[in-house]
A and B are shown apart, each in its own frame.
Chain A
Amino acid sequence: MTHHLSAQEQIEALEGVLVAARQRHLEGCAACAGEAAALRTVWGDVREAGGIPDPSPLFWDHFQARVHSAIAEDAARTAVGSPWWQGSVRSFLVVGAAALVVIAVAIAPRVVPSVAVPDDTLASAASEIDALTDQVQWQFMVDVLGSLETDAVQSVLVPSARGVDAAFETLSGQERATFLRLLEAELSAGSE
Protein backbone atom coordinates (compact mmCIF):
# COMPACT_ATOMS: atom_id res chain seq x y z
CA MET A 1 0.00 0.00 0.00
CA THR A 2 1.34 3.42 -0.95
CA HIS A 3 1.05 6.54 1.20
CA HIS A 4 -2.06 8.65 1.06
CA LEU A 5 -1.99 11.81 -0.98
CA SER A 6 -0.28 14.76 0.64
CA ALA A 7 -1.86 18.20 0.80
CA GLN A 8 0.02 19.27 -2.31
CA GLU A 9 -1.00 16.13 -4.16
CA GLN A 10 -4.64 16.66 -3.24
CA ILE A 11 -4.45 20.10 -4.80
CA GLU A 12 -2.75 18.67 -7.87
CA ALA A 13 -5.54 16.09 -8.11
CA LEU A 14 -8.12 18.84 -7.81
CA GLU A 15 -6.48 20.71 -10.66
CA GLY A 16 -5.96 17.59 -12.76
CA VAL A 17 -2.18 17.62 -12.76
CA LEU A 18 -1.46 14.71 -10.44
CA VAL A 19 1.24 12.35 -11.72
CA ALA A 20 0.03 9.03 -13.08
CA ALA A 21 1.34 6.82 -10.27
CA ARG A 22 -0.38 8.90 -7.62
CA GLN A 23 -3.51 9.11 -9.74
CA ARG A 24 -3.66 5.31 -9.67
CA HIS A 25 -3.43 5.42 -5.90
CA LEU A 26 -6.22 7.98 -5.75
CA GLU A 27 -8.47 5.80 -7.85
CA GLY A 28 -7.89 2.81 -5.58
CA CYS A 29 -7.95 4.53 -2.19
CA ALA A 30 -11.35 5.32 -0.71
CA ALA A 31 -9.92 7.70 1.89
CA CYS A 32 -8.02 9.81 -0.63
CA ALA A 33 -10.91 9.71 -3.11
CA GLY A 34 -13.31 10.87 -0.41
CA GLU A 35 -11.02 13.72 0.58
CA ALA A 36 -10.60 14.75 -3.05
CA ALA A 37 -14.37 14.69 -3.62
CA ALA A 38 -14.97 16.87 -0.55
CA LEU A 39 -12.37 19.38 -1.71
CA ARG A 40 -13.93 19.45 -5.16
CA THR A 41 -17.33 20.20 -3.67
CA VAL A 42 -15.99 23.08 -1.59
CA TRP A 43 -14.08 24.42 -4.57
CA GLY A 44 -17.29 24.41 -6.59
CA ASP A 45 -19.13 26.25 -3.82
CA VAL A 46 -16.37 28.85 -3.69
CA ARG A 47 -16.47 29.39 -7.44
CA GLU A 48 -20.24 29.84 -7.39
CA ALA A 49 -19.95 32.40 -4.61
CA GLY A 50 -17.47 34.52 -6.53
CA GLY A 51 -19.76 37.06 -8.11
CA ILE A 52 -18.93 40.69 -7.46
CA PRO A 53 -21.40 43.51 -7.89
CA ASP A 54 -20.01 45.80 -10.53
CA PRO A 55 -19.64 49.38 -9.32
CA SER A 56 -21.50 52.12 -11.07
CA PRO A 57 -19.98 53.22 -14.39
CA LEU A 58 -19.66 56.64 -12.78
CA PHE A 59 -17.25 55.11 -10.30
CA TRP A 60 -14.81 54.18 -13.04
CA ASP A 61 -15.22 57.59 -14.64
CA HIS A 62 -14.11 59.22 -11.41
CA PHE A 63 -11.57 56.65 -10.28
CA GLN A 64 -8.78 58.09 -12.43
CA ALA A 65 -9.34 61.58 -10.99
CA ARG A 66 -9.52 60.11 -7.52
CA VAL A 67 -6.12 58.49 -7.98
CA HIS A 68 -4.69 61.77 -9.30
CA SER A 69 -5.91 63.63 -6.24
CA ALA A 70 -4.56 61.02 -3.87
CA ILE A 71 -1.14 61.12 -5.54
CA ALA A 72 -1.05 64.92 -5.39
CA GLU A 73 -2.05 64.89 -1.71
CA ASP A 74 0.54 62.25 -0.93
CA ALA A 75 3.24 64.24 -2.72
CA ALA A 76 2.27 67.43 -0.90
CA ARG A 77 2.23 65.63 2.42
CA THR A 78 5.65 64.14 1.80
CA ALA A 79 7.08 67.46 0.61
CA VAL A 80 5.89 69.22 3.74
CA GLY A 81 7.48 66.54 5.85
CA SER A 82 6.51 64.94 9.08
CA PRO A 83 3.87 66.47 11.33
CA TRP A 84 5.22 69.10 13.72
CA TRP A 85 4.64 66.94 16.75
CA GLN A 86 6.75 64.14 15.33
CA GLY A 87 9.66 66.56 14.97
CA SER A 88 9.10 67.86 18.48
CA VAL A 89 8.99 64.41 19.95
CA ARG A 90 12.14 63.49 18.05
CA SER A 91 13.91 66.63 19.28
CA PHE A 92 12.74 65.97 22.80
CA LEU A 93 14.09 62.45 22.69
CA VAL A 94 17.44 63.59 21.33
CA VAL A 95 17.81 66.33 23.93
CA GLY A 96 16.67 63.96 26.65
CA ALA A 97 19.18 61.33 25.62
CA ALA A 98 21.97 63.93 25.55
CA ALA A 99 20.98 65.16 29.00
CA LEU A 100 21.05 61.64 30.35
CA VAL A 101 24.55 61.13 28.96
CA VAL A 102 25.77 64.37 30.55
CA ILE A 103 24.22 63.47 33.89
CA ALA A 104 25.66 59.99 33.75
CA VAL A 105 29.15 61.35 33.04
CA ALA A 106 28.82 63.93 35.82
CA ILE A 107 27.81 61.49 38.51
CA ALA A 108 29.80 58.50 37.31
CA PRO A 109 32.96 59.21 39.43
CA ARG A 110 30.82 59.54 42.56
CA VAL A 111 28.95 56.36 42.17
CA VAL A 112 31.77 54.14 41.02
CA PRO A 113 32.73 52.15 44.11
CA SER A 114 36.35 51.79 45.08
CA VAL A 115 37.38 48.26 44.50
CA ALA A 116 40.50 46.29 44.99
CA VAL A 117 42.33 46.12 41.69
CA PRO A 118 43.50 42.63 40.82
CA ASP A 119 47.19 42.05 40.16
CA ASP A 120 46.61 41.00 36.59
CA THR A 121 44.80 44.28 35.93
CA LEU A 122 47.74 46.20 37.34
CA ALA A 123 50.10 44.20 35.19
CA SER A 124 47.95 44.96 32.18
CA ALA A 125 47.96 48.66 33.02
CA ALA A 126 51.74 48.59 33.49
CA SER A 127 52.21 47.06 30.09
CA GLU A 128 50.02 49.76 28.60
CA ILE A 129 52.12 52.41 30.32
CA ASP A 130 55.22 50.79 28.92
CA ALA A 131 53.75 51.19 25.52
CA LEU A 132 53.49 54.93 26.12
CA THR A 133 57.21 55.27 26.84
CA ASP A 134 57.70 55.70 23.14
CA GLN A 135 56.48 59.19 23.60
CA VAL A 136 59.30 61.58 24.40
CA GLN A 137 57.58 63.48 27.16
CA TRP A 138 56.55 60.39 28.97
CA GLN A 139 60.06 59.00 28.62
CA PHE A 140 61.41 62.17 30.27
CA MET A 141 59.12 61.65 33.23
CA VAL A 142 60.11 58.03 33.49
CA ASP A 143 63.80 58.99 33.44
CA VAL A 144 63.34 61.62 36.16
CA LEU A 145 61.32 59.40 38.42
CA GLY A 146 63.60 56.47 37.73
CA SER A 147 66.62 58.38 38.92
CA LEU A 148 65.05 59.06 42.33
CA GLU A 149 64.84 56.83 45.33
CA THR A 150 61.40 55.81 46.51
CA ASP A 151 61.59 58.06 49.60
CA ALA A 152 62.56 61.05 47.50
CA VAL A 153 59.62 60.48 45.15
CA GLN A 154 57.30 60.25 48.08
CA SER A 155 58.67 63.47 49.60
CA VAL A 156 57.91 65.26 46.33
CA LEU A 157 54.47 63.81 45.66
CA VAL A 158 53.27 63.57 49.28
CA PRO A 159 55.30 66.07 51.33
CA SER A 160 55.09 65.92 55.12
CA ALA A 161 55.12 69.00 57.36
CA ARG A 162 58.57 68.09 58.71
CA GLY A 163 59.86 67.56 55.18
CA VAL A 164 58.67 71.03 54.20
CA ASP A 165 60.40 72.55 57.19
CA ALA A 166 63.57 70.72 56.36
CA ALA A 167 63.42 71.88 52.79
CA PHE A 168 62.92 75.50 53.95
CA GLU A 169 66.00 75.22 56.10
CA THR A 170 68.09 74.44 53.04
CA LEU A 171 67.16 77.72 51.30
CA SER A 172 69.56 80.65 51.20
CA GLY A 173 68.58 84.05 52.56
CA GLN A 174 67.79 85.44 49.13
CA GLU A 175 65.74 82.35 48.27
CA ARG A 176 63.83 82.68 51.53
CA ALA A 177 63.10 86.38 50.81
CA THR A 178 61.85 85.48 47.33
CA PHE A 179 59.74 82.65 48.71
CA LEU A 180 58.16 84.94 51.32
CA ARG A 181 57.42 87.61 48.69
CA LEU A 182 55.72 85.04 46.45
CA LEU A 183 53.81 83.60 49.40
CA GLU A 184 52.52 87.02 50.46
CA ALA A 185 51.50 87.82 46.92
CA GLU A 186 49.59 84.55 46.67
CA LEU A 187 47.88 85.12 50.03
CA SER A 188 46.88 88.68 49.15
CA ALA A 189 45.56 87.54 45.77
CA GLY A 190 43.57 84.80 47.44
CA SER A 191 41.99 87.15 49.96
CA GLU A 192 40.65 89.49 47.28
Chain B
Amino acid sequence: MGRTSPWSTRVTTARSMPVVTPARTSGDDYTAADDRTLIEAFRAGHREAFDVIVSRHQRQVYQVCYRFVRNHEDAADLAQDVFVRAFKGLKNFKGDSALSTWLYRVGVNACLNRAAVKRPLTEPLEPSRHVDDRSDDPFHVVARGEKAAVVRRAIAQLPPKQRATLLLRVYQDLSHEEIAGILGSSVGAVKANFFHALGNLKRLLQS
Protein backbone atom coordinates (compact mmCIF):
# COMPACT_ATOMS: atom_id res chain seq x y z
CA MET B 1 0.00 0.00 0.00
CA GLY B 2 1.45 3.24 -1.09
CA ARG B 3 -0.44 5.62 1.15
CA THR B 4 -0.05 6.11 4.83
CA SER B 5 -2.29 3.71 6.64
CA PRO B 6 -4.92 5.22 8.92
CA TRP B 7 -4.19 2.32 11.26
CA SER B 8 -0.69 3.60 11.99
CA THR B 9 -1.96 4.97 15.27
CA ARG B 10 -2.64 2.17 17.65
CA VAL B 11 -6.19 2.15 18.86
CA THR B 12 -6.73 1.17 22.46
CA THR B 13 -8.36 -2.20 22.31
CA ALA B 14 -11.12 -3.33 24.60
CA ARG B 15 -11.16 -6.65 26.40
CA SER B 16 -13.25 -8.27 23.73
CA MET B 17 -11.35 -6.88 20.81
CA PRO B 18 -8.48 -8.50 18.99
CA VAL B 19 -5.09 -7.34 20.11
CA VAL B 20 -3.82 -5.50 17.10
CA THR B 21 -0.26 -4.49 16.70
CA PRO B 22 0.78 -1.29 14.99
CA ALA B 23 0.27 -1.37 11.29
CA ARG B 24 2.96 -2.78 9.07
CA THR B 25 2.52 -1.09 5.77
CA SER B 26 5.79 -1.81 4.08
CA GLY B 27 5.44 -4.65 1.66
CA ASP B 28 1.99 -5.73 2.88
CA ASP B 29 -0.37 -5.66 -0.06
CA TYR B 30 -3.54 -7.62 0.53
CA THR B 31 -5.57 -6.37 -2.40
CA ALA B 32 -5.15 -9.66 -4.24
CA ALA B 33 -5.51 -11.91 -1.21
CA ASP B 34 -8.58 -14.09 -0.77
CA ASP B 35 -10.92 -13.56 2.14
CA ARG B 36 -9.47 -16.36 4.26
CA THR B 37 -6.00 -14.90 3.94
CA LEU B 38 -7.34 -11.48 4.84
CA ILE B 39 -9.00 -12.84 7.96
CA GLU B 40 -5.84 -14.57 9.10
CA ALA B 41 -3.80 -11.47 8.41
CA PHE B 42 -6.21 -9.35 10.38
CA ARG B 43 -6.11 -11.76 13.28
CA ALA B 44 -2.33 -11.56 13.15
CA GLY B 45 -2.53 -7.82 13.61
CA HIS B 46 -2.46 -6.50 10.06
CA ARG B 47 -5.18 -3.92 9.98
CA GLU B 48 -4.62 -3.21 6.31
CA ALA B 49 -6.22 -6.58 5.73
CA PHE B 50 -9.38 -5.30 7.36
CA ASP B 51 -9.31 -2.27 5.09
CA VAL B 52 -9.33 -4.60 2.10
CA ILE B 53 -12.23 -6.55 3.59
CA VAL B 54 -14.18 -3.32 3.96
CA SER B 55 -13.46 -2.07 0.47
CA ARG B 56 -14.24 -5.46 -1.02
CA HIS B 57 -17.61 -5.96 0.67
CA GLN B 58 -18.82 -2.45 1.41
CA ARG B 59 -21.11 -2.18 -1.61
CA GLN B 60 -22.88 -5.46 -0.98
CA VAL B 61 -23.35 -4.64 2.69
CA TYR B 62 -24.59 -1.17 1.87
CA GLN B 63 -27.02 -2.51 -0.73
CA VAL B 64 -28.52 -5.04 1.67
CA CYS B 65 -28.95 -2.32 4.28
CA TYR B 66 -30.41 0.06 1.71
CA ARG B 67 -32.96 -2.50 0.59
CA PHE B 68 -34.16 -2.73 4.17
CA VAL B 69 -34.33 0.94 5.04
CA ARG B 70 -34.76 2.56 1.62
CA ASN B 71 -32.75 5.66 2.39
CA HIS B 72 -29.09 6.48 2.08
CA GLU B 73 -28.42 7.94 5.53
CA ASP B 74 -29.72 4.97 7.49
CA ALA B 75 -28.17 2.51 5.07
CA ALA B 76 -24.78 4.20 5.47
CA ASP B 77 -25.09 4.13 9.27
CA LEU B 78 -26.07 0.48 9.24
CA ALA B 79 -23.28 -0.47 6.85
CA GLN B 80 -20.79 1.30 9.08
CA ASP B 81 -22.19 -0.52 12.09
CA VAL B 82 -21.84 -3.85 10.29
CA PHE B 83 -18.11 -3.29 9.81
CA VAL B 84 -17.63 -2.16 13.40
CA ARG B 85 -19.27 -5.39 14.50
CA ALA B 86 -17.17 -7.30 12.00
CA PHE B 87 -14.01 -5.72 13.40
CA LYS B 88 -14.91 -6.93 16.86
CA GLY B 89 -16.33 -10.27 15.78
CA LEU B 90 -13.88 -11.51 13.18
CA LYS B 91 -11.78 -13.20 15.82
CA ASN B 92 -14.74 -15.48 16.49
CA PHE B 93 -15.48 -16.13 12.83
CA LYS B 94 -15.13 -19.88 12.40
CA GLY B 95 -15.03 -19.92 8.62
CA ASP B 96 -18.00 -22.27 8.29
CA SER B 97 -19.44 -19.95 5.68
CA ALA B 98 -18.06 -17.44 3.24
CA LEU B 99 -17.03 -14.11 4.70
CA SER B 100 -19.64 -12.41 2.53
CA THR B 101 -22.35 -14.65 3.97
CA TRP B 102 -21.17 -13.88 7.48
CA LEU B 103 -21.24 -10.16 6.71
CA TYR B 104 -24.73 -10.55 5.30
CA ARG B 105 -25.75 -12.21 8.54
CA VAL B 106 -24.33 -9.36 10.59
CA GLY B 107 -26.02 -6.86 8.28
CA VAL B 108 -29.40 -8.56 8.27
CA ASN B 109 -29.34 -8.84 12.06
CA ALA B 110 -28.52 -5.15 12.33
CA CYS B 111 -31.36 -4.34 9.95
CA LEU B 112 -33.83 -6.59 11.75
CA ASN B 113 -32.84 -5.08 15.09
CA ARG B 114 -33.35 -1.64 13.66
CA ALA B 115 -36.69 -2.69 12.20
CA ALA B 116 -37.73 -3.80 15.67
CA VAL B 117 -37.22 -0.33 17.09
CA LYS B 118 -37.93 1.90 14.13
CA ARG B 119 -40.73 1.80 11.62
CA PRO B 120 -39.33 1.26 8.13
CA LEU B 121 -39.49 4.26 5.92
CA THR B 122 -41.69 4.27 2.91
CA GLU B 123 -40.39 5.33 -0.46
CA PRO B 124 -38.60 8.64 0.12
CA LEU B 125 -37.08 9.16 -3.28
CA GLU B 126 -38.65 10.02 -6.54
CA PRO B 127 -39.46 6.74 -8.30
CA SER B 128 -37.62 7.53 -11.51
CA ARG B 129 -34.27 7.43 -9.74
CA HIS B 130 -34.49 3.65 -9.39
CA VAL B 131 -35.08 2.59 -12.95
CA ASP B 132 -32.96 2.09 -15.98
CA ASP B 133 -34.31 4.69 -18.35
CA ARG B 134 -31.75 4.53 -21.09
CA SER B 135 -33.92 3.05 -23.84
CA ASP B 136 -37.56 3.76 -22.98
CA ASP B 137 -39.78 6.63 -23.83
CA PRO B 138 -40.65 9.01 -20.98
CA PHE B 139 -44.16 7.67 -20.52
CA HIS B 140 -42.97 4.13 -19.93
CA VAL B 141 -40.16 5.32 -17.73
CA VAL B 142 -42.59 7.12 -15.46
CA ALA B 143 -45.09 4.25 -15.46
CA ARG B 144 -42.43 1.70 -14.68
CA GLY B 145 -40.95 3.91 -12.02
CA GLU B 146 -44.28 4.35 -10.35
CA LYS B 147 -44.96 0.64 -10.40
CA ALA B 148 -41.53 -0.05 -8.92
CA ALA B 149 -42.23 2.40 -6.13
CA VAL B 150 -45.50 0.65 -5.39
CA VAL B 151 -43.71 -2.69 -5.26
CA ARG B 152 -41.04 -1.33 -2.93
CA ARG B 153 -43.68 0.09 -0.62
CA ALA B 154 -45.37 -3.30 -0.57
CA ILE B 155 -42.06 -5.03 0.23
CA ALA B 156 -41.56 -2.61 3.13
CA GLN B 157 -44.84 -3.84 4.62
CA LEU B 158 -43.79 -7.49 4.73
CA PRO B 159 -42.93 -9.10 8.05
CA PRO B 160 -39.17 -8.75 8.70
CA LYS B 161 -38.15 -12.35 8.01
CA GLN B 162 -40.21 -12.57 4.86
CA ARG B 163 -38.71 -9.31 3.70
CA ALA B 164 -35.18 -10.47 4.51
CA THR B 165 -35.74 -13.73 2.66
CA LEU B 166 -37.15 -11.99 -0.38
CA LEU B 167 -34.38 -9.38 -0.55
CA LEU B 168 -31.58 -11.89 -0.13
CA ARG B 169 -33.05 -14.33 -2.65
CA VAL B 170 -34.15 -11.96 -5.37
CA TYR B 171 -31.59 -9.16 -5.18
CA GLN B 172 -28.52 -10.73 -3.65
CA ASP B 173 -29.12 -14.03 -5.45
CA LEU B 174 -28.25 -16.09 -2.39
CA SER B 175 -29.20 -19.75 -2.24
CA HIS B 176 -31.83 -20.99 0.13
CA GLU B 177 -29.10 -22.70 2.11
CA GLU B 178 -27.15 -19.47 2.47
CA ILE B 179 -30.25 -17.57 3.51
CA ALA B 180 -31.05 -20.29 6.04
CA GLY B 181 -27.55 -19.83 7.50
CA ILE B 182 -27.98 -16.07 7.66
CA LEU B 183 -31.41 -16.13 9.24
CA GLY B 184 -30.81 -19.14 11.45
CA SER B 185 -33.68 -21.02 9.84
CA SER B 186 -34.11 -24.30 8.00
CA VAL B 187 -34.12 -24.42 4.21
CA GLY B 188 -37.76 -25.44 4.33
CA ALA B 189 -38.60 -22.42 6.45
CA VAL B 190 -36.77 -20.15 4.01
CA LYS B 191 -38.74 -21.52 1.06
CA ALA B 192 -41.97 -21.18 2.99
CA ASN B 193 -41.08 -17.59 3.92
CA PHE B 194 -40.27 -16.86 0.30
CA PHE B 195 -43.59 -18.30 -0.81
CA HIS B 196 -45.55 -16.34 1.77
CA ALA B 197 -43.61 -13.16 0.94
CA LEU B 198 -44.61 -13.45 -2.72
CA GLY B 199 -48.17 -14.34 -1.77
CA ASN B 200 -48.45 -11.34 0.55
CA LEU B 201 -46.97 -9.09 -2.11
CA LYS B 202 -49.52 -10.31 -4.61
CA ARG B 203 -52.29 -9.47 -2.16
CA LEU B 204 -50.79 -6.07 -1.32
CA LEU B 205 -50.31 -5.17 -4.98
CA GLN B 206 -53.84 -6.17 -5.85
CA SER B 207 -55.23 -4.01 -3.09
Chief secondary structure at chain A's binding surface? helix
Tell me the residues in window 57-89 of chain A with beta carbons closer than 8 Å to chain B beta carbons.
59-60, 63-68, 70-72, 74-76, 78-79
Is A39 located at the chain interface by the 8 A CB criterion?
yes
Is A166 located at the chain interface by the 8 A CB criterion?
no
Chain B residues bordering chain A, tally (CB within 8 A): 53
Q: How far, in angstroms, from A59 to B63 measured CA to CA in the complex?
A: 13
Tell me the residues in window 22-74 of chain A with beta carbons closer than 8 Å to chain B beta carbons.
38-39, 41-43, 45-53, 55, 59-60, 63-68, 70-72, 74
Question: Does A39 lie within 8 Å of B195, measured CB to CB?
Answer: yes
Question: Does A55 lie within 8 Å of B76, measured CB to CB?
Answer: yes
Is A148 located at the chain interface by the 8 A CB criterion?
no
Closest to B6 in A: A68
Question: Does A66 lie within 8 Å of B80, measured CB to CB?
Answer: yes
Is B116 located at the chain interface by the 8 A CB criterion?
no
- Residues of chain B lying within 8 A (CB to CB) of residue A14: 198
A interface residue count range (under 10 / 10 to 19 / 20 to 34 / 35 or more): 35 or more
Segment at the B interface, from A5-13, A169-177, A181-189: A5-13
Segment at the A interface, from B33-41, B81-89, B95-103, B105-113: B81-89
Q: How far, in angstroms, from A64 to B83 measured CA to CA in the complex?
A: 10
Question: Known interface pairs A67-B54, A72-B11. Does A11 touch B129 (Cβ–Cβ under 8 Å)?
Answer: no
- Among A12, A46, A53, A72, the residue within 8 A (CB) of B151 is A46
Question: Known interface pairs A7-B192, A70-B84, A75-B13. Does A46 touch B63 (Cβ–Cβ under 8 Å)?
Answer: no
- Among A47, A49, A67, A68, the residue within 8 A (CB) of B130 is A49
- Residues of chain A lying within 8 A (CB to CB) of residue B192: 7-8
Question: Does B151 lie within 8 Å of A67, measured CB to CB?
Answer: no
Residues in A lying within 8 Å of B, measured CB to CB: 7-8, 10-12, 14, 38-39, 41-43, 45-53, 55, 59-60, 63-68, 70-72, 74-76, 78-79
Additional A-B contact list (19), CB under 8 Å, known A64-B6, A74-B84, A75-B14: A7-B195, A7-B196, A8-B192, A46-B166, A47-B170, A49-B149, A50-B170, A51-B131, A52-B63, A52-B67, A59-B76, A60-B58, A63-B54, A63-B58, A63-B80, A67-B83, A71-B11, A71-B84, A79-B13
Residues in B lying within 8 Å of A, measured CB to CB: 6-7, 11-17, 51, 54-55, 58-59, 62-63, 66-67, 72, 76, 79-81, 83-84, 87-88, 125, 129-132, 144, 147-149, 151-152, 155, 166, 170-171, 188, 191-192, 194-196, 198-199, 201-202, 205
CB<8 Å pairs between A and B, sample of 27: A7-B196, A8-B195, A12-B191, A38-B202, A39-B195, A39-B198, A42-B201, A45-B147, A46-B166, A47-B170, A49-B148, A49-B149, A49-B152, A52-B63, A52-B66, A52-B130, A53-B72, A53-B130, A55-B72, A63-B58, A64-B54, A68-B6, A70-B83, A70-B84, A74-B88, A75-B14, A78-B16
